[in-house]
Chains A and B, each alone.
Chain A
Amino acid sequence: MRKELIIGLFAGLIVLQIVLPVSMIAKRESTLKNGEVFRFKTVPVDPYDAFRGRYVAIRAEINKVSKPEGVDLKYGQKVYAQLFVDENGFAQVSQIAMRRPKDSAYLIASVTYPAGRGNDVGLNLPIDRYYMEEKAAPRAEQVYREHSRRGDKQDAYVIVRIKDGFAVIEGLYVGDQRIEDILKVNIK
Chain B
Amino acid sequence: MNKKTIQWLYQELPDLVSKGVLPQSSADMLREHYGDIKSVDKKWFVIILCSVLGALLIGLGIILLFGHNWEELSRPVRAVLSLLPLMVGQALAMWVVLKRPTSQAFKEGAATFLSLMVGSSIALISQTYNIPGDTPTFILTWMLLIVPLAYLMEATIPAAIFVAGISAWAGHFWYEPLKAFLFWPLLAVVIPHFIWSLRQEKYTIRAAILALVMAICVCVGAGFTLGRSWPGSWIVIYSSLISVFYLLGAWEFKGFSTNWQRPFQILGGLGIFIMMFMLTFRFPWESIGRRYSYPANEISSWAAIPDNILTFLLVGGALLLFFQYAKRQDWMRTLFGALPLLALIGYAFGGTSAVFPMLLFNVFLLFVSIFRLMTGIRTNNLSVINTGMVMLSALVLARFFDSEINFVLKGLVFIFIGVGFLVTNVMILRRKGGAA
Contacts and interface: CB of A to CB of B under 8 A. Distances in A.
Interface of A: 3, 6-7, 9-11, 13-14, 16-18, 20-22, 24-25, 28-29, 49, 51-55, 75-76, 126-134, 136, 168-169, 180
B130 A18 contact: no
B418 interface: no
A25 B130 contact: no
Given A6-B152, A25-B129, A129-B132, 20 more contacts: A6-B97, A10-B152, A13-B145, A13-B149, A16-B145, A17-B86, A17-B118, A18-B87, A25-B79, A25-B125, A49-B133, A52-B123, A52-B127, A53-B67, A130-B130, A132-B69, A133-B71, A134-B67, A136-B71, A168-B129
13 contacts: A13-B145, A13-B149, A14-B90, A24-B125, A25-B83, A25-B129, A28-B129, A55-B127, A76-B175, A129-B133, A133-B68, A136-B71, A180-B71
B152 A129 contact: no
Given A10-B152, A14-B94, A24-B122, A129 B145 contact: no
B251 interface: no
B115 to A, nearest CB: 10
A132 B71 CA distance: 7
A146 to B, nearest CB: 21
Contacts, number: 101
A118 to B, nearest CB: 21
A136 B67 CA distance: 13
B101 A51 contact: no
Contact of A134 (B68, B122, B133, B141): B68
A51 B97 contact: no
B154 to A, nearest CB: 10
Contacts of B71: 132-133, 136, 180
Given A10-B152, A14-B90, A17-B90, A131 B121 contact: no
Contacts of A180: 71
Given A6-B97, A49-B133, A53-B67, A13 B152 contact: yes
A127 B69 contact: no
Nearest to A130: B130
A126 B124 CA distance: 18
B127 A131 contact: yes
Nearest to A134: B68
Nearest to B90: A14
B127 A17 contact: no
Contacts of B133: 49, 128-129
B196 to A, nearest CB: 14
Nearest to A14: B90
